Amino acid sequence: MEESVSSALPLFAVGVSLAAVPLILWSRGRPNLREFWTLAAAFAKALIVLALLPEVLAGRTVECRLLEISPEIALHLKADPVGMVFALVSSSLWILTSFYSIGYVRGAGEKSQTRYFASFAVCLSATLGIAFSANLLTFLIFYEILSIATYPLVIHKETAEALRSGRQYLVYALSAGVVLIAAVAWTYNLSGTLDFRPGGLLADRAFEAADLRVLFLLFIAGVGVKAGIMPLQSWLPAAMVAPTPVSALLHAVAVVKSGVFGVIRVVGFVFGPSLMKTHGLDAILAAFAGATILFASLIALRQDNLKIRLAYSTIGHLSYIVLGMAMLVPEAFSGGLLHLAAHATTKIALFFCAGAIYVNLHKTEVSQLNGIGRVMPWTMSAFAVGAMGLSGLPPVNAFFSKYALCLGTVEAGRLPALAVLLMSGLLNAAYLLPIVHRAFFRHGGRELEGHGEASAWMVVPLCVAAALSLLLGFRPNALVHLFDLVLLGTRAVFPESVPFAGGGP
Amino acid sequence: MIDLIRGHYVYFFLAGLFLIGLYAIMFKGNLMKKIIGMSIMQSSVILFYVSSAYKDGGTVPVLDPRRGVENPDLYLNPLPHCLMLTAIVVAVVTLGVSFAMIIDIYRNYETIEEPLLLERLKDEA
Amino acid sequence: MIGPQICMLIPVVYLFGALLVPLIGWRRGAAGWGMALAAAAGAFFFSLGGLAGVLQRGSLSYHLGGWMPPIGIEFVMDPLSAFLEVVITGIGLLAVVYTRRSVEHEIPDRLMPFSSLALLVLTGLSGMVITGDLFNLYVFLEISALAGYALIAVGERPASYAAFRYLGMGTVGASFYLLGLAFLYMTLGTLNMADLSRMLAVTDVSATVAVGLLLLFMGAALKMALFPMHGWLPDAYTHASSAATALIAPIGTKVAGYILIRVLLYLLGAGEKGSGLPLLSLLAYLGAAAVIYGSILAVCQSELKRMLAYSSIAQVGYIAIGVGLNSALGFTGAVLHILNHACMKASLFFVSGGLRLRLGHSRIPRFTNALRRAMPWSSAAFALAALSMIGLPPTAGFFSKWYLALGAIEQSRWLFLGVLLFSSLLNAVYFFRVLERMYLDRPGIEPAERPTSVARHEAPPAMLLPAVALSSALLVIGLGNTWIVDRLIGPMIPGGM
């Protein structure tokens, strides 16, 4: 049985950005003060999460049990290794995004900046809440808060298109929410508990196969909307109408990863690998994920709008993680967790680049990007790093997560999945690397003359994101012991196994 | 069958009365007729209570020295009557309130015929 | 020291308040309103005391005039009635606070009679919940209904006709109730609820009793505007003055629902004794139909108050489903939803009245985002209550749905689960339609036509604070729902569940 420590730190980690919301609203007349609160909350949040790290690395979970919200089910936060991976990724990238946001919204002259920063803070609270949820009801609550808090960001521009996308987003997110409510309530009815348990809270009970299959589909539909599993993905490209930092943090890291994280929780902590295997649920999940990877990559090839292309790329990469979960072997599970982090750093770098290009040169289409590498060398170098990572080229961190995923597919004996991964690697290269080529090796038009890099507020964060991707590629354990965390999390779910026995990345 | 009707004809009569009242409330176009229906319906319920308290050979529940107190069958049950006094008051008040409303409707729309009234309401909206 | 007299005090305080208001407010309406406020506050205080007493010592019972039940009338405060009493008096107090500015604006010079009638409505509603005698319940029902007709009739021009229809339907409902009661009384010979439930426990349900129960059911269903007997409700709520709607809508129909809970679950026993008479299933199916019907029609409305009225029809359906599930979880959900919906709907109607005061209308297509800048607090209260209506956690609305969903799943009644969840989405449709207009720019308007600066023009504090208080309460109720469920609802779950 895992040891656990009681502490209020998880609550603070969740609450600190929520506490910043009134301050942000209160200082709406003074932009500098307002942005100060955002930054302060971002740093505080990251520090609190870091403070949790030693305990978790030592194999103990940090718990914070709050009031009961339904008889015998408490609002319960718990920092376990898997949750820590997600929390570290999202809280550290929020710092980058905050700096970047300041540069972006001021550079692009966005309106309603107060609402923007306030919603962002709420979103981050909800994300950390999702990461630290110790039971399904807590998860559900933060999941719904996240759905609602993202809405103001999606419709931020308040154009007809933004409103339409916002409505579409709401329909998807709220439908997913009610499906999830049904799934959670049913789980409670079946098992009498909602506490996540490594290896599955449903694992040691006998069920009717048909019931279990329906329940699993309900769960996957509930979390799959945010995870962009086809055919539930169409809100995501539409939501690209939002300002770029929103796309970067929420639609590459926080919101969509919450969905993926939900899949991880469902597979590893609700159903559990053994139950999944006995009832053939892994095949269902793998089929959806594999199809999503291929289709998304193919669609991405045909997009000219840079952000939409990145959105489809995101859909594909989210399903990498889902596919990893569906393999039900430790290597693939670790690979999925690693990819959660790796895709976050690389994709956020790519989105930051797209935003910098838009603010600086007002270009949104891939076909307009000829020669901009000479104007914005730092930005496009960072873009190149991200593109290489997502295409699966070493030494960027996404290479290793893909490698682990491939190992897992072999281990699981699922060669079609391996084929999907390799093929999509090629497709990724096909839709990302030509952009780099355009930027550096083609000549740009006249309108580029006289332009330089975007403001340092934007260029520094995107370079940091790219540098992080490289650093984590060379040293997966650098800075925050991410790799150890992943191994700890994997061992919890697969107690008998030793992942990467033959030497990991 | 005949016995059923003969033994309970007051109930059939009251049920008929109730339905007549209900019919008027639902389907009559004139608001005043609706109120009449309402009154008929309430009366039928009141009569129903009162008839339920009736006993052959019983009398008002006031102590009668010739009848004594030993046999309660000789007296009617007073409770339904008391209840219906309240119900009658309620019915009267309902009538009063509904008259006030009809007057107000007539002042505003100069009709108490429902089809006409609905037309004018529609015009207004 | 809380004695059983406290049961009596609540309706009596209201009643005497209603009588004193005209005396005190004869010259100055405001003074009468002050009296009404004092009475409402007093009743709220007593109901809190009653709830505390019930929690400490179990049910309280007061024998009117010293007559022993079942001969005399008994006032009973058991956990259910104490809980509802707090809901009624609490909403009543806030509604009276709200009344003054709203009535002065919408129906000038009517403050004194309005206050008096409002107290009479509250007398009836609180009396219905607290009495232990079924005929006495009828009397209170008519007191609240008659005062309610009058309150509703004083509003916009079509209000008197809407109120007349309400009166017609209400009288039919009350007559059904009275007739049903006659059947029960003729067979069982008592009107006292406790006595009646003891008798029903040992006897079989005869045909006469069954007919009586069916008539009671129909009467109560008409009063609670259960689909398809809801026809009177939308017009009445739309055309009445905002203050009247805000008083009647949150609690009026619920108290009729209370009759059903009392009769079907307590008197008859939760095991559904009248098995030949599946009233509970009927209730649940009608509730499901009401939820769908009300939600769909709410989506179609362009007038805010009318939309809220249709939403009320739907929400009553939730309560009906919960009661009809005939299980502890369903019952918990239903009772919790009575509280939640009272808070949400009161807050929403409070805000819509504030909009009428400041904008002069409450038509959804004419809302703009100037509203958010002019009335930020009202908009925020509305948004929070709307999110709760949709059922998003951690607001209160989520948790009543959660218990109802658990109850539906427990019995594998997938239809009800589907209805509950689908209606959440419909609620989202009609509330986000409003929120979008309230908070966002309307595309298609030239920037030049947009109001650049909007002066702050918030509703007056007396109208704003009740709405804000209730909306904030939704978060508190949501997070503290376990306390309510364990401590307050737990003891009232009928035996046999």
| Cis peptide bond prior to A394, omega within 30° of 0 | no
- Which residues in chain B (57-96) have CB-CB distances under 8 A to chain C? 80, 83, 86-87, 90, 93-94
Contacts of B27 in chain C (CB under 8 A): none
Distance from CA of C413 to the nearest CA of B (A): 36
β pairing state of A60-70 and A3-6: parallel
Cβ–Cβ < 8 Å for A215, A183: yes
Give the pair of three-digit tokens for residue C43.
């009743």
Cβ–Cβ < 8 Å for C408, C414: yes
CB contact set of C306 (below 8 Å; sequence gap of 6+): C234, C237, C238
> With an 8 Å Cβ cutoff, is C41 touching chain B?
no
The contact set of C with A (CB < 8 A) is 387, 390, 392-394, 398-399, 401-403, 405-406, 409-410, 417, 421-422, 424-425, 428, 432, 436, 440-441, 443-444, 478-482, 485-486
- pLDDT of B4 above 80: no
Cβ–Cβ < 8 Å for C178, B116: no
- Which residues in chain A (294-353) have CB-CB distances under 8 A to chain C? none
**Nearest residue in A to C373, CA atom:** A112
Give the pair of three-digit tokens for residue B54.
């009736």
How far, in Å, CA of C8 to CA of C287, rounded? Answer: 33
Contacts of C161 in chain B (CB under 8 A): 101, 105, 109, 117, 121
Write down the pLDDT at residue A1: 46
Q: Between the CA atoms of C104, C110, C113 and C116, what dihedral angle is there, to the nearest 10 degrees?
A: -10
Chain B touches chain A, with at least 3 Cβ pairs below 8 Å, answer: no
> With an 8 Å Cβ cutoff, is C208 touching chain B?
no
Q: Residue ranges per domain, chain C? A: 279-497
B46 located within any domain: yes
- Which residues in chain A (161-180) have CB-CB distances under 8 A to chain C? 163, 166-167, 170-171, 174-175, 177-179
**Which chains are within 8 Å of C by 3+ CB pairs?**
A, B
Cβ–Cβ < 8 Å for A473, A389: yes
β pairing state of A73-79 and A60-70: antiparallel
Chain Cα centroid distance, residue C285 = 21
List the one residue out of B13, B37, B17, B41 whose CA is nearest residue B27.
B37
List the one residue out of A228, A223, A225, A227 whose CA is nearest residue A180.
A223
Substitution target in A112, A136, A189 with the highest count of C β-carbons within 10 Å is A189
Does the beta-carbon distance from A144 to C398 stay under 8 Å?
yes
Q: How far apart are the first and last CA of chain B?
A: 55
* Residues counted in chain C: 497
**Nearest residue in B to C156, CA atom:** B108
How far, in Å, CA of B4 to CA of C225, rounded? Answer: 36
For residue B106, the enclosing domain spans: 2-61+73-124
> With an 8 Å Cβ cutoff, is A40 touching chain C?
no
Does the beta-carbon distance from A181 to C392 stay under 8 Å?
no
Task: Give the pLDDT confidence of B67-99 residue by residue, as tens digits.
Answer: 777 777 788 888 888 889 999 999 999 999 999
Helix (H, G, I), strand (E, B) or coil at A306: helix
**What's the number of domains chain B is made of?**
1
Contacts of C153 in chain B (CB under 8 A): 100-101, 104
Partner residue opposite B38 with nearest CB, options C149, C171, C182: C171
How far, in Å, CA of A499 to CA of A487, rounded? Answer: 7
Q: Walk along chain C (497 residues) and give the pLDDT tens digit of each residue.
A: 567 888 888 999 999 999 999 998 888 878 889 999 999 999 999 999 999 989 888 888 888 888 887 788 889 998 999 999 999 999 999 999 999 888 888 888 888 889 999 999 999 999 999 998 999 999 999 999 999 999 998 888 888 899 999 999 999 999 999 999 999 888 888 888 888 888 888 877 788 888 888 999 999 999 999 888 888 898 889 888 889 999 999 998 899 999 989 888 888 875 555 555 688 888 999 999 999 999 999 999 988 999 999 999 999 999 999 998 888 899 999 999 999 999 999 999 999 988 888 888 888 888 877 788 888 888 899 999 999 999 888 889 999 999 999 999 988 889 999 999 999 999 999 998 888 888 887 665 555 455 556 677 788 888 889 999 999 999 999 888 888 888 888 888 887 67
pTM of the model: 0.91
List the one residue out of A98, A455, A462 whose CA is nearest residue A254.
A98
More confident residue, A7 or C44: C44
Write down the pLDDT at residue A2: 64
